[in-house]
Structures are given as structure tokens and as C-alpha cells.
Amino acid sequence: MESIGDLLGGFAVVLSWQNLFYMVVGIVLGVIIGVLPGLGGANGVAILLPLTFSMPPTSAIILLSCIYWGALFGGAITSILFNIPGEPWSVATTFDGHPMAQKGQAGEALTAAFTSSFVGALFAVIVITLAAPLVASFALQFGPAEKFSVFFLAFCCFVGMGKEPPAKTIAAMMLGFALAAVGTDTVTGQLRLTFGSTELLGGFDFLIAVIGLFGIGEILLTMEEGLSFKGKAAGINSAVVLQTWKKLPRYWMTSLRSCVIGCWMGITPAGATPASFMSYGIAKRASRKGDDFGKGDIEGVIAPETAAHAAGTSALLPMLSLGVPGSPTAAVLLGGLLIWGLQPGPLLFVEQKDFVWGLIASMYLGNIVGLVIVLTMVPVFAAILRVPFGIIAPIILVICAIGAYTVHNNTFDVVMMFVFGIAGYFFKKCNYPLAPLVLAIVLGDKAEESFRQSLLISQGSLGIFWSNGLVGSIMALGVVALFWPAVSNLLGRFSRPALR
């Protein structure tokens, strides 16, 4: 298969001392970021993105994606030791992870979590290796209408399958589009929605929005509980690791099932969070020891972690091959690629083979390196969280401010970051989903461009979106996703009697 040859070429690109160095740095930074509140995956990548502008794109994306890995691993540490989910998808890990730590089995829980993450991510990377080129070559045939229909599908998935009320998801998403529309219209070059302000000439940058919404917003939320973190101490020694590894193969079915759930949900832009919850719920129902879940059962850690990492990784598949990110962090990475002048989508596989396969190869290596690093450095990372919040909080705020500034060397952006932060606090408390907002800001211009080009071709008729089998079926899938709650209700009524 051509893919294997390309993949080996990718490894050749990655295996330079410089790139390996960036990999290690990225993972360590990523775990630290994942462990600290307010600096989670999307935000951390957003802050560090401008710093990588001076690096060659391949090294930069390796650094950033390893930060992403690290953050995925880091979220598990805080969930298990401190009952604080570092990332939204680590919430399900707290259900059994923290009770295990309280029973003194922290080392086991951590080993199980890290190993499951590794397995889930590996599975997803293999899927990406095999599927991405296929999807990309398929997508080369896409015209503007087909491109728009893919965006449409993505956004419908958020509305229909998210856990927030649809009206709030729509409001958040449309707000993102509106924010994306501010500034220069990419098609006609006209200024719009700037109301004469020079600051808004460039529009709203998604990086500032991410740092504010996810970073500052989360710190504000964390502050509600005051300035204390109390957590369980933990050490991992090799005996515990080996013991746990001996136990894990017993749960291969759970693992496999979680991988599939994770990959599926990661590819459809619903993301890692529902994947982890869904996997936990299904594992609980399928397991003989279902009632033990919640009290510290190792299977309750394996299921969500595998799924979350499989999903987080497979979110990169649509990002690379279609240019549609499946998660906020993938959206930030997409934004980064655009800034470097790389166009994610089918052409990336044709024109930038070295880069794409280098990235995919780095995912394999990064995963392995990541597992080794986290297993050996848990006490260090846990110690970081014992630094009093009174010291950590201002440091995080300063880092966020610097991150916001370095995007455009504009101090106004720091103010905007703060405004987004306040908005993020209120939105999160009122249950407005932030992921579709961020995705809309990142993709708004592209989605609008495809939409307008389609209308131009069809001379104003919306029928173009149903004009051929391909675009029509994607749009139909979108409509199904949009009305999914109603559909699944109907299906539920037919298949089994109500059990409560």
C-alpha cells in the first residue's frame, strides 16, 4: 500500500534530533498544561502557537501536537489524584479514578489510565494512517457545494448530538459565525461590521477567543471554589506498573469497544467528551461488575480514557483530510496550519506529503514517548498541583496575557482576551457550549466562502445543495444529525419497553 511507504517517509522526516527534542519538550509542556487549570489543551496550544512561527512547519506541528498529547495525559492525573477533571473528557475518569486513589490504588489507576490512553490513541492513529489518504482522495472531487455540505454536517452534529439545549448551541455557533464575519469580507474585500473602529479591522482572532473563553473563563470558574486544592499523594513504581499491566489484558473487550466508540465520535465533530461518557455508560451496563462502577473499579477508568484519547486523536482525521476540525484543539491546530500557509484538506496529502506524513509518524512516536514520560514523572507533575493557587493563578494569568499579545503584537488583544474570558464564564455557567463557537470562528470565513461560491454557480438557487447524489446525501446526513434527539427517541420507543 502506498500509505506504508509514505508513513516510512514520514518517520524519516521525524527522526531528527531536533524533532525528537521538540517532541519531548512538547509532551512535558503538554502534561504540565493539562495538569494546571485554565491552560488546558486548546488554550495551551493557542498560547504557544505564535511562538512557533519562527520554526519550520513540520517541527512546529510536532511540538504542538505533542503538547496536545501531553495535555490528554495530564488531564487524567488531576482527575485521579485531585478529583478535578483537567479536561472535559476527563470527567468520566473521576468517577472511578478518584475512588481508586482514595483506596490507595492511585498508582494502579494512573497506570491503567495512561496505558488505556496509549492504546486508544494508537488505534486512532492507525485508523488515520489507513483512512486519511482515502478520505482525502475522495474529497478532491469536492466542489464548493460539497465543501459547504461537510461544514453543514459538522455543525448539525453539534446541534443534534451535543448535550446542551439546541437553541443554546445554535446561538453559540451563530455568534461564532458573526464574530468571524467582522472585518474584511474575503470575497469582495469590503469592510463589514467594524462600525468604523480601527481595532476591529482585522476581525476577531480565534486564538484570542480560545485563550479568553477557555483559559480565563476556566480560571474564573475555578475561583468560585476559593484558593484551595487538596489532593492525594501518589507514586508510581515499576512494581505497580507491571502488576497493573498484567491485569489489563483481561479487559481487552472493553478496550476495543471503547476504541471504536472513541474513533467514531472523534471523527464526527461531537468530540472526546461524549465519547468518554458513552464508553463509561456502555461499559457499566455491559460489565458483570457494573454495580462496582463508581466505587473504584479499574474498568471504570479504562473505558473512558481509551475512548477519550481515541476520539481526541481521530478528531485530527477530518481536520487533515477535509479541513474540518472535530474538536476545539483540532480547530486551533487547523488555524495554525492556515497561518503557516498550509491548506488542510485533500490537497495537503498531494502537495505537502512530507509534512502530513511527518505529522502522522510523529503521532506514533509521540504516543510512545508520552507514555514513558508520564509513567516516570507522575510525582513531579502531582507536585506542581501542590503549589498554592495564590502563586499559580497569577502566573497562569500572565502567561495567558502574553499568549494573547504575541498573536498580533497588539495590546488590544489582551483586553479582548479578558472580555472573552468574562463571556466564557457566563456562557459556561449558563450551559452554552463553547466548542461550536470556537469552530465557527475558525471555519466561519471558509464556510461562508463555499456557500457564496455555490450560490454564484447556481445563480442564487439553494437547490445546488441537493443537486447531486454526493452533496445531497451529506446534507441529508446533516439533517438527520440535526434532528437526532427526536429520531433516537422514536427508535427507542420501537425497540424496547421503557425500563427505569
Tally of CB atoms within 10 A around 461: 11
Does residue 479 interact with other proteins by CB under 8 A? no
Residue nearer to other proteins on the CB measure, 151 or 251: 151
Using CB under 8 A, which of the segments 167-175, 234-242, 367-375, 488-496 binds other proteins?
A: 167-175
DSSP state of 298: T
What's the rounded Cα separation, in Å, for the pair 75 and 65? Answer: 15
Does residue 424 interact with other proteins by CB under 8 A? no
Alpha carbon of 286 to those of 123, 272, 299, 305: distances in Å?
22, 21, 11, 17
- Nearest CA to 131 out of 307, 11, 264 is that of 264
Residue nearer to other proteins on the CB measure, 23 or 423: 423
Grid coordinates standing for 55? 520554526
Does residue 142 interact with other proteins by CB under 8 A? no
Using CB under 8 A, which of the segments 7-15, 78-86, 361-369, 384-392 binds other proteins?
A: 384-392
What's the rounded Cα separation, in Å, for the pair 320 and 349? Answer: 8
Does residue 452 interact with other proteins by CB under 8 A? yes
Please state the closest distance from residue 192 (CB atom) to other proteins, in A. Answer: 5
Instruction: Determine which residue in the list 188, 197, 238, 489 makes contact with other proteins, applying CB under 8 A.
Output: 188
- Nearest CA to 367 out of 302, 306, 323 is that of 306
Does residue 25 interact with other proteins by CB under 8 A? no
Per DSSP, the residues of 117-184 read HHHHHHHHHHHHHHHHHHHHHHHTT--HHHHHHHHHHHHHHHHHHSSS-HHHHHHHHHHHHHHHHSEE
Does residue 195 interact with other proteins by CB under 8 A? yes
Does residue 393 interact with other proteins by CB under 8 A? yes
Please state the closest distance from residue 55 (CB atom) to other proteins, in A. Answer: 10
What's the rounded Cα separation, in Å, for the pair 327 and 463? Answer: 30
DSSP state of 409: T
Q: One symbol per residue from 429 to 448: x for binding other proteins (CB under 8 A), - otherwise; what is it? A: xx-x---------------x
Our separate counts of H helices and E strands in the chain read 23, 2
Q: Give residues 36-65 in contact with other proteins (rule: CB under 8 A).
A: 50-51, 54
The b-or-e profile of 220-230 (16+ CB within 10 A means b, else e) is bebeeeeeebe
Please state the closest distance from residue 279 (CB atom) to other proteins, in A. Answer: 30
Give residues with Cβ within 8 angstroms of 464, minimum separation 6: 145, 454, 455, 457, 458, 471
Q: Enumerate the β-bridge partners of residue 183.
A: 192
Please state the closest distance from residue 399 (CB atom) to other proteins, in A. Answer: 9
Number of residues that bind other proteins (CB under 8 A): 64
Per DSSP, the residues of 457-500 read HTTT-GGGGGSSHHHHHHHHHHHHHHTHHHHHHHHHHHHS----
Does residue 177 interact with other proteins by CB under 8 A? yes
Does residue 470 interact with other proteins by CB under 8 A? no
Instruction: Yes or no: say if 362 and 62 are a contact pair by the CB < 8 Å rule.
Output: yes
Please state the closest distance from residue 390 (CB atom) to other proteins, in A. Answer: 2
Instruction: Determine which residue in the list 131, 260, 338, 402 makes contact with other proteins, applying CB under 8 A.
Output: 402
What's the rounded Cα separation, in Å, for the pair 81 and 62? Answer: 29
Does residue 156 interact with other proteins by CB under 8 A? no
Residue nearer to other proteins on the CB measure, 54 or 238: 54
Q: Enumerate the β-bridge partners of residue 191.
A: 184
Instruction: Determine which residue in the list 102, 343, 406, 467 makes contact with other proteins, applying CB under 8 A.
Output: 406
Residue nearer to other proteins on the CB measure, 394 or 492: 394
Residue with cell 504575541: 406
Q: Which runs of E-coded beta strand occur in 298-341?
A: none
Does residue 167 interact with other proteins by CB under 8 A? yes
Instruction: Determine which residue in the list 133, 215, 346, 421 makes contact with other proteins, applying CB under 8 A.
Output: 421
Instruction: Determine which residue in the list 67, 125, 136, 216 makes contact with other proteins, applying CB under 8 A.
Output: 216
Instruction: Determine which residue in the list 92, 414, 439, 464 makes contact with other proteins, applying CB under 8 A.
Output: 414
Please state the closest distance from residue 370 (CB atom) to other proteins, in A. Answer: 23
Instruction: Yes or no: say if 359 and 62 are a contact pair by the CB < 8 Å rule.
Output: yes
Cα radius of gyration rounded to whole Å, the chain:
22
Grid coordinates standing for 304? 473512558
Instruction: Yes or no: say if 333 and 30 are a contact pair by the CB < 8 Å rule.
Output: no
Q: Give residues 267-296 in contact with other proteins (rule: CB under 8 A).
A: none
Using CB under 8 A, which of the segments 21-29, 190-198, 271-279, 333-341 binds other proteins?
A: 190-198
Residue nearer to other proteins on the CB measure, 437 or 474: 437
Q: Give residues 115-134 in contact with other proteins (rule: CB under 8 A).
A: none
Does residue 242 interact with other proteins by CB under 8 A? no
Does residue 386 interact with other proteins by CB under 8 A? no
What's the rounded Cα separation, in Å, for the pair 189 and 170? Answer: 28
Does residue 451 interact with other proteins by CB under 8 A? yes
Instruction: Determine which residue in the list 11, 412, 466, 483 makes contact with other proteins, applying CB under 8 A.
Output: 412
Instruction: Determine which residue in the list 2, 226, 230, 238 makes contact with other proteins, applying CB under 8 A.
Output: 226
Residues that bind other proteins (CB under 8 A): 50-51, 54, 165, 167-168, 170-171, 174-175, 177-178, 181, 185, 187-188, 190-193, 195, 216, 219-220, 223-227, 388-391, 393-395, 397-398, 401-402, 405-406, 409, 411-412, 414-415, 417-418, 421-422, 425-427, 429-430, 432, 448, 451-453, 455-456, 460
